[in-house]
């Protein structure tokens, strides 16, 4: 299996770091640290220097919060994408949006990927992505309404639900003209799920990998990590990295993260152990 993120092609054993850049005032993690242009550009430069393969720009907080109109979302992300494309000609740029109008605008501005984080609630998104020859990330939310938290959600088998939903979404995207190698699937940890569900999705991630689509996981500092270990947001990095290593061993391809350098090291170490990457040096016992 090979996959493409618009301009670039990757092999099945590639493990990519997707750095999160929030153009919001109320992110659960950074509390608006990259709301202003200067720190946002600095964040991208730092992420690239630390080994990020792509960046994911978000103009709306996923959780409940202030209403963000289409016009406001466009204002937050389109000029930033244009600026990034001018500065980073080869950087893969993703935008986290569930709106077709925004997807069209950011792809026109130079983005490569639409990360549709709310399970395809706007059915026009795949056609927009296809028209631009871009890549599309599909997610499972269990039918959760946009920007709401799960409450007593139940599944007979959460992984079966993930597979059913993502297979249907992938077929819809193909029918809309999105090329197979440009479709990525994401079980969407915490979205429409409680902690038990997210843990189960991690434990059985190989079942998603077996579907034949590249798999993205968004694990970084999520609530399921915090609840598993009893840690607030600031103390969730070790749990995140443990989950990252397990996901990598099971074959996930793209990792949406806040801490780029630490994630890059984890993924590269897994790649060395798996035989997909050579150690940077091997002088021990030889000198």
- C-alpha 223/C-alpha 229 separation (Å) is 10
Active site residue 256: yes
Of the candidates 76, 222, 236, 264, the residue annotated as catalytic is 222
Of the candidates 204, 236, 256, 264, the residue annotated as catalytic is 256
Tokens of 272: 């060395």
For the chain, how many residues are written? Answer: 287
Say if CB 91 and CB 18 are below 8 A apart: no
- C-alpha 163/C-alpha 173 separation (Å) is 15
Question: Residue 142: left (phi > 0), alpha (psi -120 to 50), or beta?
Answer: left
- C-alpha 207/C-alpha 158 separation (Å) is 12
Say if CB 28 and CB 223 are below 8 A apart: no
Using DSSP, state whether 27 is helix, strand or coil. Answer: coil
Tokens of 2: 């090979």
Q: What angle do CA 72, 73, 77 make, to 5 degrees?
A: 120
The residue to which tokens 């990020």 are assigned: 52
Closest by CA to 114, choosing from 178, 190, 50, 172, is: 178
Three-state secondary structure readout of 216-270? EECCCCCHHHHHHHCCCHHHCHHHHHHHHHHHHHCCCCEEEECCHHHHHHHHHHH
The residues annotated with a catalytic role in the active site are 222, 256
């Amino acid at each position: 299996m090979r996959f493409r993120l618009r301009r670039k092609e990757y092999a099945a054993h590639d493990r990519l770091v997707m750095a999160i850049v929030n153009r919001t005032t109320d992110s659960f993690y950074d509390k608006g640290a990259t709301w202003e242009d200067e720190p946002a550009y600095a964040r991208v430069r730092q992420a690239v220097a630390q080994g990020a393969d792509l960046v994911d720009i978000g103009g709306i907080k996923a959780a409940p919060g202030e209403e963000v109109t289409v016009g406001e979302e466009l204002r937050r992300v389109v000029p930033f994408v244009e600026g990034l494309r001018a500065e980073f000609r080869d950087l893969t740029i993703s935008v986290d949006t569930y709106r077709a109008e925004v997807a069209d605008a950011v792809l026109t501005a130079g983005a490569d990927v639409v990360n549709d984080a709310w399970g395809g609630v706007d059915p026009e998104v795949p056609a927009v992505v296809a028209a631009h020859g871009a890549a599309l990330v599909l997610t499972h939310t269990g039918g959760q309404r946009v920007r709401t938290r799960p409450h007593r959600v139940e599944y007979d088998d959460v992984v079966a639900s993930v597979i059913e939903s993502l297979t249907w979404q992938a077929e819809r995207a193909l029918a809309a003209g999105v090329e197979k190698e440009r479709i990525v699937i994401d079980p969407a940890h915490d979205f429409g799920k409680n902690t038990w569900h997210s843990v189960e999705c991690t434990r059985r991630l190989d079942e998603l990998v077996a579907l034949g689509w590249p798999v993205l996981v968004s694990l970084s500092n999520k609530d399921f990590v915090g609840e598993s270990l009893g840690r607030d947001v600031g103390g969730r990095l070790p749990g995140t990295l443990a989950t990252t290593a397990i996901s990598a061993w099971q074959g996930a391809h793209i990792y949406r993260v806040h801490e780029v350098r630490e994630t890059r090291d984890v993924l590269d170490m897994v790649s060395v152990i798996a035989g997909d990457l050579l150690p940077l040096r091997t002088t021990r016992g030889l000198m």
